[in-house]
Every structure is written in structure tokens, then in C-alpha cells.
Amino acid sequence: MQVTFSKDRGIGVVRVGKALTAATVDAFRDQLADWQEVEPGVKNYVVDLEMVDFLDSAGLGALIAMLKRVSEKGGDMKIANLQKKPRMVFEITRAYKVFEIYDTVEDALKAYL
């Protein structure tokens, strides 16, 4: 599981590579938790799913768990670059009502300003 983390204007940018599935969610959660320990001041996040070509229910569950954890700490989370197949999962499950979804990372970052 390839996940990279960066900060842009104090907002955490989480770039997820490849699929986000039952096989990869544990690594995603572990890497996210490690980064959050190193960057405790980051409250708001943008999750860039440009490289994610497949998302299953476990992957969606990991994103919902992240949103819940971030919200409990007074922060927010936005989704960027949602691709066609994962977008279908968001539509079928109505997850698009839970997340703010933006076409680009830049659009998501601007929404915080």
C-alpha cells in the first residue's frame, strides 16, 4: 500500500496509491496513524484518490473511520480526484452524502480557506 503524506497550508494531504481494499486498509490505517502522531497539529485533511482505481466496502469503511476520527478531534476531511469505479461505490452506498468531494486537490484545499 503506497500512501504519501504532505502538508499544504497546514492541511494534511493524503495521497493513496492503487486500490483501497480489504487487503490494504490495515496498512492505510497504520500509516495514517503514524503520520498523525508525527503531525499532531494537523486537523483538516484532503484525501487524494487520483491513483485509486478500485475501492471496496472495507476501503470505504476505512475512509469513514478516518472521517470520524478527524471529526472527533475538531477537524474535517475532504475527498479529491474520485475516479469512475470508486465513484460508483460512493453513489451506490450514498457515501457522497457523507463526504465533500472535489475534482482536484487544489479545489478541496481552497474549500478550507
Q: Which of 33, 38, 34, 32 is nearest to 15 (CA)?
A: 32
Instruction: Tell me the pLDDT of the chain (113 aa) as tens digits.
Output: 689 999 999 999 999 998 999 999 999 999 999 999 999 999 999 999 999 999 999 999 999 999 999 999 999 999 999 999 999 999 999 999 999 999 999 999 999 98
pLDDT confidence of residue 2: 85
CATH of the domain at 95: 3.30.750.24
Tell me which DSSP letter residue 79 carries.
E
Count of domains for the chain? 1
Interatomic CA distance for residues 69 and 64, integer angstroms:
9
pLDDT confidence of residue 89: 95
Q: Helices (DSSP H) in the chain: which residue ranges?
A: 25-38, 57-72, 84-93, 105-112
Q: Which structural domain, as residue segments, surrounds residue 31?
A: 2-112
pTM of the model: 0.95
